Every structure is written in structure tokens, then in C-alpha cells.
Structure 1
Amino acid sequence: MAITDGTIVWVGQDTVGRTLHPDAEVVELDGAFVAPAFVDAHVHATAAGLQLTGLDLTGCASLAECLDAVRAADGPLIWGHGWDETRWPEGRTPTRAELDEVAGGAVVYLSRIDVHSALASSALVDLAHGARTADGWSEDGPLSRDAHHHVRSVAQAAIPVERRRAAQRAFLRHAASRGVAAVHECAGPVISSADDLADLLAMTDGPQVVGYWGDVDPVDLPVHGLAGDLFVDGAIGSRTAALVAPYADRPDTSGALYRDAAAIAAHLVSCTEAGLQAGFHVIGDAGMAAVVDGFELAAAKVGAPALAARRHRLEHVEMITADQAARLGAFGVVASVQPMFDAEWGGPDGMYSQRLGTERGTRLNPFAQLASAGMLLAFGSDTPVTSLDPWAAVRAAVHHRTPGSGLSPRAAFTAHTRGGWRAAGVDDGITGTLQPGAPATYAVWEAGELVVAGSDSRVQRWSLDPRSGVPGLPSLEPGAALPVCLRTVLNGRTIFERD
């Protein structure tokens, strides 16, 4: 592969390439393979960076371990992420009194793994005026909904600017080390801040950042759209995703619907007329029903072709019927989805089934159904909700816990490469591939045996034709070692190189 000024200019046999480009700098790969770089279509850079540089609770196997981790943390502000009480033997979260006992008076904010609820120390609650009277308040347990937004905003404001920027830099370095050349930052007024997003967009020495602002009101920043985490509902783990029928393990609640069909339609119409990409966070089936109705109302106002031209996007899309997928596919909707959600919480014994019952809990994240309905798939991690590990995400999409819901390896890889570029409006037909004329955006991987076409039809191995978008496929079988990134290149510029 020959590259000039950041563009691929030739792909073919080695001897021909050396003849055509006799003065080229030659990089020998010694058995490593090259593939288009990944795009992560849904990240939260600062929160993920704070997890990388601070208190990571994802490894806590019990309530006691979580409290021990807080006790060992330093500083007037303790920001942690990743607890999941569904995996703890105690089966519950710490009380506020237990948290205060180990916090030693510090301001403590600990987000649940889905970031839709959090534990807060009394010192933080006392600073978050209005939290105690807001929807989602709990005297002794996790805070959700508006109460959670109150304490999170206060905790975010307490983060020193340099600590926040250091977290962003750490995240971007981490992303590049995983073969990721572009990320879609899903920011918003209840998630981060305009200053936070401005700092991230100003960082140019790592992966390309595509900014989204999850609000109905514009922000004075170069964002790609008013999309991302503009909430229609919440999350299943925190029991805030809006459901048609109550939660199986909490029959007293059906979650929270934050926007109805009329509000959804109004935002779609406004963005379509302004030439912007709109989008929403939606997970529960009641939330999805509101979204589909909202698209129908918007189409009646501006026309289906105008809607489809903007490629409006939906984040997560976990509970959806075949009919709803077909209707959204007709409107050109992008499904920004996270395969690791199924790997972490799917199946008959996972958190989804615990919250919803087995019948509903094993129907989530139907990637094959979305693709067959014509929805464009763009894969992401929603980090720090799940780890940023693109090859693991591709494997999770192939080996879906619900038979019939997974994708072929080729489709899964495409969703994590070209799909991300197309979701952000780059639809030239070549970006995200390895062919002449495409941007030289790729990663070099050290892996074991590459499997060529014909060796296993069940897994649908890829050929070694680089024009197909990827030159080979490592084993995606469960338990197999995944490739290790040696180098990540964005538009001909190396943004990561392993020592």
C-alpha cells in the first residue's frame, strides 16, 4: 500500500509497488496486518478518562470491595465509576451512611455502570441544591433522574480544569492505542458542559473528534448535530428506561419517559429545516414507540425524503420490533449501537433478563433485524459504560447471546469502521476502506493466524482482497486472543505507535 500526502494512492503486489514508488520510505510489517482504523460512534471522553486516571469500580466484586476502594481514594473530590450491584453477593448498593463512613467528609460521586444513577455522599448532596426535592431522590440509595443530574453537575463543576483536560488526553491516547482513529463525543448540558466539549474539540494530536450536543438548543461550538444523548428515556440497569409493561423485578415502576412524540417531532423538524443531524438516546420499548411516532409526525411536516437526507441518529436502540425497524429504516435512520451491551448483560442469565424477565430480556439489541430493515449500523462503546475494545465489540456482534440477532464478521467490522464515518456524514464510498483515493486512516495489528476465505463457511471468513475494506480476519471465536494494535494512523499521520 502506497501513501502520498495522507491519501492511499496504490494497493497491490509488493514488487509492483516498489517499482512504481522507488523513492518511498518502506515500512516492513513482519507478518502484522493492516485494516481500516476503527471509529467509536458513542463515547464520553472526560468520564472515560477519569475512570482511566482515577477510581475504577468495574472490578469490584462486592459491596465491601466498593467501599474499600472509596476508603483508599484520595482528594476532596472522589469521582468513581462502574459499580454494578447485580453482580454483588450482597445484592444491594451501599447506603449513604456507609458511604459517608468511608468518605471521611469528602465529596464523593460514584456513577453506576450505565451512568443513569449514582451514589453520592452527604457532602455532595449538601452542595447540590434541589437534589432532595427532585424526581429520582432517594434518602439512602442511588439517585436517578433529575436528582442524579443535580449531583453530577455539582461534581463536574468541582473537577479542576487541568484534571479534566488530563483525563481527556488520557482517553484519546487510550482510544488511539486500540486502533481507533475517530470518536463521536456525545456531550450535552446534563452530561458534561460546553467548556468540556470545547476543550475536547481543541485537541488535535489524537483521534478525530466528532462532536454532538444532546440538547434542543444550539451551542456555539462546531458540533455535527444536536444529537447523541438527548434523552427520550433512561437505562434498564437503573430501571429508568421507559417500558410498556413494568419491570419484572420492580413491578411498581415502568421507568421514565422524558420526551413524548410531539417533542421528538418538533426537534426533528427543527433540525431538518436547519440542515442539522438530530438524534436521541432511546432504550425502552415505550421510548421507542414515542420515537417512531415522532418520526411519523415529522415526516408529515417536512416529508420523508427530507428526513432521510439528514441521516438522523438513534443511540442504543435496544428494544425495537421488526415493524418499528422497517419504519425507521425508511427514514434513513442511523442506529448507533453497542455490541458489548449484549456481551455484558444479554442472555437468559444476564441483567436484562433479571430486570425484564427472560422473554423480554433476550430480545434486546437485535442487530440483524436493524440491518435487514435498512438502518445504517454504527458501532460504539458508550465508554465508560463498556470498555473501548473494538475487536471485542466485533466479536460480541458476531456471537450475539440471542441466536439470530448477530451479524456476519464482515458486517460487524464494517459497522465499526465505515459505519461510523457514514453516521457522521462522510459517505463518499471510500472512507473507511483501503483503496486508492481513500484517506490513509488505518491500524496495524499483531495477531495470530489470519483466516482466508473458504476455511469455515459458518463464520463467513473474509478474503485477503484489500479492496473489500479489510485485508484479513483474526479469529473471533470466544476465548481466542484478539489482535494487539501496533500503530494507528489518521490521514497519513501516526497517532499511536507501540514501543
Structure 2
Amino acid sequence: MNNKNLLLYNGKFITLSEEFPEAEWVYIKAGTIKDIGWGDGYRSYGAEVPSIDLKGSTVVPGFIDSHVHLMESSLNTLSTYLGGATSIEDILEVLTTAKEEKTEWGDMIHCIGLEEIKLRENRMPTRWELDQVVKDRVVWISSIEYHVSIVNTFGFRLLNLPFNLSGIERNEEGVPTGVLRGRANFLARKKLLGITSDETRAKGTKKLFKNIITAGVTTINAMEGGFLFHDRDALYVHKNLHKFPIDVELFYQTTDVEKVKKMKLKRIGGCIFVDGSFGARTAALDYPYADDEGNKGTLFFQKEEITNFIMKSIANHLHIALHAIGSGAIRLVLEGYEAAKKEYPHTTSIMRIEHFELPNQDQIELATKLGVILSMQPTYEYFWGGAEKMYETRLGKVRGKRTNPFATIIANGGIIAGGSDSDVTPINPLLGIDTAVNHPNSQEAISPIEALKLFTINGAIALGQEKVKGRIDKGYLGDLCILSKNPLEGNTKEIKDIQVLGTIKAGKVLYLSSDIGVEGAGSC
């Protein structure tokens, strides 16, 4: 349905507007909300436009996912999933099946979702083990957070990595095992993504957007290019922005400010990796990992480097986002932002930290004082939080309970924008809301209304678009998500089970369940 004029009535609208938090109908004209109200006031518009009888359904602002790797997620729709593997035998079994199937990546077999912590061998497979199944074409396995790659011998030879490159895992004889971490992983990913065609990218995005739309998402922040990915991803997204069915806000993951200015982009950064990840034990900590004595993770930038980059970005009026997971990296970024605030006290540039998983109290207070937006991923707690899961294994019981401190941040006045980090976790805002409300550490759980804000108005604030998105109000875009139940009422542990019945982008119906139909103009 391409008409951007639409009337929705007989519903319960959670507007997030301070003036009127609820409504029963909304009239959208030319993509923007023209009127909103209660009772039968909508009838004066009924003869003009197509209409939807919501039959009592709940409507919230269209969801905003503040952290998506769009091209990686798209390509992964064409990949083989290893998330269920609990042993190397499981991996080889999946590969055996995959090699007989037609791959949409050409001759490459790409596998995703592998979690080392789940493998009973407590290690990644070697290239020789992968060779037992596939010898004559590339096998490339990505860990769930993309910070580790494993390739077979064919793939390792194709990569032709420098012999002394850091991150190449070796056996006792000094021979590379095919497991690549840190800088070796960055370079391997860049090479393998570089030989991926744009036709393959287009095939993946077409599949992915169907999933995004049926999740009720109307805006995503696309983190593209850079160390862990490929600049072709960013260029592809930039070239095709006008073709995408929802709003895609591009964050170019580069430190090249001049290039971003030349492309006339407003934003720079995203996953500019100041540190790594907990899964790969490369997130920068103040104290060693609980399961790797002596290892406090890795900082990929020096303080001067990151501060100079921040200064140059803000001097050029760019919004900036940086990846910092552990307290060591968070400190580096906040020091850079603090210096920039002193140099440019009246800047309108939005400063963000992506992930912010293990801050200390001083860092939470400083981030709030500086007005830094914290782009966080609640679903991390769903997959990795709680007893005997990844956070506790890597960090120990005490620090494992301090991850993703949503309640503490909000209590200190901080603004959290919710995201998925797709394809690390799925694009599913309702799962994110559910997880934030049911945080494994109950002291960090937040209310359903606060959790809803993470994926609506706070996501808009993180983009500087809070005057046109994130609320259901006059003058705002007609970006709406129709739900089967009210997420603010009932059993909070069932929020993730709520169904998305419809997605509307600027008055255009992108998805509508068969339970709700569009009526012809004048029928209401």
C-alpha cells in the first residue's frame, strides 16, 4: 500500500507524548501525523483516506534499532548457522551438509554464530579439522561477535597474511592453526568481504529487510565499513539509501573525516574499535579476565589517537560514535569527549558510546555530565547474562552482575538508545524490551515504559531526530508499530512473545497481519 495518507482507529496508542500519553485514533497525511484523538472524532476524515480498524490493538511509535551491521546481517541471511554447535564434531557435521548445498555466496562456505564458550573442547576448530570436510574451496567461520575467524587451509592460503601479523594463532610447532584473532581477524574479514560481490549484498538486503519490517522497525542505524568489515559495505549502503523501505542512518566506520565530509554524511564512527569483545577476551578491563589470568584485554588506539579523532570530528560538526565495551576503553573515550567539550563547549555534535557494557560508577556519572548517548544492546543480557553464562565465565560472579547497568544509568540521568548489534543478536526490539525489564540482575532491571523508550524516543534522540520520530504526536512522522498486546500491561516476562501485527513507515503500510485489514476510503 503506497498511499501515505492513512487513518487508524479503534486502538490504544501509546504516544510517549507528555501532553497526552494515550489516544484511540491517528490521522496521517502526506506521511506526517496530522491529527490524533479519542472517541469518534476520526469520522470527519473517514471519507478521505484508506483506514485501518485496529480492533483494540496497541500501537507504539515505530521501533528504532540504534546499532545494526546492515550489510553483515544481510550477508548472514545467506550463511550457515553454527549457533547450536556444542562441539567440533557438531561443526564438522554442519559443514558436511553445507558443502552439498548450493551456497548463495558463490564458492565460499560462510558459517556464523559460533560461540567458543559453548564448545566442550574449550577451543576453536583448527584448519586441519575443517580440511577433513572441505579442502577445495574456502570455509570461513565467524564467531558470534565477529572478533574471531577460522578458515580452512584453502582459505588461509588465499588470505596470504603477513607471517608476523598479530592474532594468528599457532600450534606448539609455530604453525598457523587457521584461528585468527585481533588484527589478523580484521585483515582476514576485510579480504574475504572484499571479494564479495554487490549482487550478493543486494540479495542479502532483500531478505533481511523483510525480517526488519515484520519486527516493527522503521529506522535503523547502519554501522558500515571499517576494521571488522569492508568499506564496500558503507559505499553500497550510501549508494542505495533511497531504495531501502525504511530509514537507514549511515554511520561510516572510518577515521577519515575528509572522506565522510566529501560524502556529505552527518555521522562518523559506529564500531570504531577502541577495544574488542568479552567473548574474544579482548575488551579492555581494569583487572584480568576471570578465566585468563594476566589478560586485561586490548586497546586498539592510544589516548592521543582517539582524542585527536574526536576533536577533528567535532570541529567538522559531525556526530560521532565509538565502540567501547570494557572500563579501560570507556575511560579512553570519555577522556576524549571531555577534552572535546572543553574545546568546543557549544558543539551540537552528538557524542555516543556504543555498547558501554562494563562501566564503573564514575564513568556513568561522567557520561551523563557530558551528555554522551549510550547506545546499548539489552539482548546481550538475554544471551550472555546470568549464572554460568558468558559474562560470568569471562568476568567472574561480581563483575558478571555489573554488566549493562540500565537502571543505574537511568537513575543518574543518562540516556540509553536500544539496539541489537545485529547480527550478533537478532533485530527484535520486543526481545530487547523484555530483557531490559527482566535483567538477570534485578537491581538493573527497568520499567516497561523506560524499556520502550530505549527503542523509540531515545533512539530518535541518539540521531538528533527527536522532533520528528520516537513519539506519536502531531507533526511527527507516521512511523507506527501495531502490537497484539500492550507491553506496559500484564506479565512482563511475556513481552517478548507479543506479536507485531503491522508496520507503517511515514503513513505507508509496509506490513500488516491478516488479522487486521485495510478498509477502503470512506468505509469507516
TM superposition score normalised by structure 2: 0.86
In the superposition, relative to structure 1, how do residues 44 and 222 fare at CA in structure 2: closer, same or farther (>3 Å)?
farther
In the superposition, relative to structure 1, how do residues 427 and 434 fare at CA in structure 2: closer, same or farther (>3 Å)?
closer
Q: How does 1:262-277 map to 2 (within 5 A)?
A: 262-277=304-319
Q: CA deviation at 1:132?
A: 3.9
Find the counterpart in structure 2 of residue 416 from structure 1: 455
1:98 aligns with 2:137: no
Which among 347, 355, 378 is matched to residue 316 of structure 1?
A: 355
In the superposition, relative to structure 1, how do residues 497 and 142 fare at CA in structure 2: closer, same or farther (>3 Å)?
farther
Q: Take 1:479 and 1:473, find their aligned partners in 2: how far apart are those partners? A: 11
Q: Take 1:475 and 1:65, find their aligned partners in 2: how far apart are those partners? A: 40
Q: How does 1:118-137 map to 2 (within 5 A)?
A: 118-137=149-168
1:326 aligns with 2:365: yes
CA RMSD after TM alignment: 1.9
Q: Is contact 2:70–2:224 with CA below 8 Å preserved after alignment?
A: no
Q: How does 1:449-468 map to 2 (within 5 A)?
A: 450=486
In the superposition, relative to structure 1, how do residues 207 and 20 fare at CA in structure 2: closer, same or farther (>3 Å)?
closer
Q: Take 1:53 and 1:77, find their aligned partners in 2: how far apart are those partners? A: 11
Which among 421, 435, 444 is matched to residue 382 of structure 1?
A: 421
Q: Is contact 1:311–1:423 with CA below 8 Å preserved after alignment?
A: yes
Q: Is contact 1:81–1:111 with CA below 8 Å preserved after alignment?
A: yes
Find the counterpart in structure 2 of residue 444 from structure 1: 482
Which among 284, 298, 305 is matched to residue 256 of structure 1?
A: 298
Query: Which amino acid is the alignment partner of residue 286 of structure 1?
Result: G
Q: How does 1:115-264 map to 2 (within 5 A)?
A: 115-138=146-169, 139-140=176-177, 142-201=179-238, 202-203=240-241, 204-218=243-257, 219=259, 220-264=262-306
1:25 aligns with 2:40: no
Find the counterpart in structure 1 of residue 469 from structure 2: 431
Q: Take 1:60 and 1:131, find their aligned partners in 2: how far apart are those partners? A: 31
| 1:397-444, Cα deviation, whole Å (9 max, x unpaired) | 01111122122111110111111121111132x521112221100012
Q: CA deviation at 1:248?
A: 1.4
Q: Is contact 1:205–1:495 with CA below 8 Å preserved after alignment?
A: no
Find the counterpart in structure 2 of residue 497 from structure 1: 512
Q: CA deviation at 1:275?
A: 0.5
Find the counterpart in structure 1 of residue 140 from structure 2: 109
Query: Which amino acid is the alignment partner of residue 122 of structure 2?
Result: G
Q: Take 1:321 and 1:477, find their aligned partners in 2: how far apart are those partners? A: 28
Query: Which amino acid is the alignment partner of residue 28 of structure 1?
Result: D
In the superposition, relative to structure 1, how do residues 375 and 141 fare at CA in structure 2: closer, same or farther (>3 Å)?
farther
In the superposition, relative to structure 1, how do residues 353 and 132 fare at CA in structure 2: closer, same or farther (>3 Å)?
farther
* Greater RCO (Cα-Cα under 8 Å, separation 6 or more): 2
Aligned residues: 472
1:34 aligns with 2:76: no
Find the counterpart in structure 1 of residue 5 from structure 2: none
TM superposition score normalised by structure 1: 0.90
Greater percentage in strand? 2
Greater alpha carbon shift after TM alignment, 99-108 vs 380-389 = 99-108
Find the counterpart in structure 2 of residue 341 from structure 1: 380
Q: Take 1:145 and 1:383, find their aligned partners in 2: how far apart are those partners? A: 20
Find the counterpart in structure 1 of residue 519 from structure 2: none
Q: Is contact 2:226–2:272 with CA below 8 Å preserved after alignment?
A: no
Q: Take 1:319 and 1:357, find their aligned partners in 2: how far apart are those partners? A: 13
Q: Which runs of 5+ in 2 are unaligned?
A: 1-25, 170-175, 515-524
Q: Take 2:57 and 2:162, find their aligned partners in 1: how far apart are those partners? A: 53
Q: Take 2:496 and 2:443, find their aligned partners in 1: how far apart are those partners? A: 25
Q: Take 2:489 and 2:177, find their aligned partners in 1: how far apart are those partners? A: 48
Query: Which amino acid is the alignment partner of residue 276 of structure 1?
Result: L
Q: How does 1:81-92 map to 2 (within 5 A)?
A: 81-92=112-123
Find the counterpart in structure 1 of residue 97 from structure 2: 72
Q: CA deviation at 1:477?
A: 2.8
Greater alpha carbon shift after TM alignment, 44-53 vs 387-396 = 44-53
Q: How does 1:354-369 map to 2 (within 5 A)?
A: 354-369=393-408
Which among 316, 334, 338 is matched to residue 292 of structure 1?
A: 334
Q: Is contact 1:125–1:131 with CA below 8 Å preserved after alignment?
A: no
Q: Take 1:300 and 1:481, find their aligned partners in 2: how far apart are those partners? A: 43
Find the counterpart in structure 2 of residue 10 from structure 1: 35
1:477 aligns with 2:492: yes
Q: CA deviation at 1:22?
A: 3.8
Q: CA deviation at 1:77?
A: 0.6
Query: Which amino acid is the alignment partner of residue 186 of structure 2?
Result: H
| 1:333-379, Cα deviation, whole Å (9 max, x unpaired) | 11000001111111232111111111112111111222233332110
SS of the aligned residue for 1:80 comes to strand
Q: Which runs of 5+ in 1 are unaligned?
A: 451-471
Q: Take 1:255 and 1:132, find their aligned partners in 2: how far apart are those partners? A: 23
Query: Which amino acid is the alignment partner of residue 422 of structure 1?
Result: I
SS of the aligned residue for 1:183 comes to strand
Q: Take 2:371 and 2:256, find their aligned partners in 1: how far apart are those partners? A: 23
Q: Take 1:4 and 1:287, find their aligned partners in 2: how far apart are those partners? A: 46
In the superposition, relative to structure 1, how do residues 229 and 92 fare at CA in structure 2: closer, same or farther (>3 Å)?
same
Q: Take 1:401 and 1:481, find their aligned partners in 2: how far apart are those partners? A: 15
In the superposition, relative to structure 1, how do residues 432 and 118 fare at CA in structure 2: closer, same or farther (>3 Å)?
same
Find the counterpart in structure 2 of residue 52 from structure 1: 77
Greater alpha carbon shift after TM alignment, 419-428 vs 186-195 = 186-195
Q: CA deviation at 1:105?
A: 2.2
Q: Take 1:490 and 1:23, find their aligned partners in 2: how far apart are those partners? A: 19
Find the counterpart in structure 2 of residue 395 from structure 1: 434
Q: CA deviation at 1:137?
A: 0.9
In the superposition, relative to structure 1, how do residues 133 and 72 fare at CA in structure 2: closer, same or farther (>3 Å)?
farther
Find the counterpart in structure 2 of residue 458 from structure 1: none
Q: Is contact 2:71–2:224 with CA below 8 Å preserved after alignment?
A: no
